[in-house]
Amino acid sequence: MRGLSGKPLPPEVWEIVAAVLILAWRVRSLAPSTLWTDWVSILSVFWIFIAAAGKTRAASLVTAAVMSALLLLYASQQMPLTLRVLGATP
């Protein structure tokens, strides 16, 4: 597809469009209060940032922060369930 100037749109634009569509789907299907705990929403916002920022120094720092947050989110939600299944908690 071509932009208004007649030139093809860069791949970054298509990445941002795809991420925005996924994020819109999640916003529509989930309660707004739970979006911050939804890993698909978090990764969609991260995807938009990475597509827009490119390979900058900030991208490395944001990547580390997002991955750490996802690890903490996973551990906080999954560990209680795992411990309950293993019989470690009532």
Mean pLDDT of the chain: 90
Total residue length of the chain = 90
2: which strand partners? 8
Neighbouring C-alpha atoms within 13 Å toward the C-beta of 32? 0
Instruction: List pLDDT tens digits, range 5-41.
Output: 678 888 899 999 999 999 999 999 999 999 999 999 9
Beta strand spans in 1-90 (E): none
What pLDDT does 5 receive?
Answer: 67
Domain parsing of the chain, residue ranges: 11-85
What pLDDT does 10 receive?
Answer: 86
pLDDT-derived band of residue 61, with 50, 70 and 90 as boundaries?
A: very high
Residue with tokens 């990547």: 63
pLDDT above 80 (res 57): yes
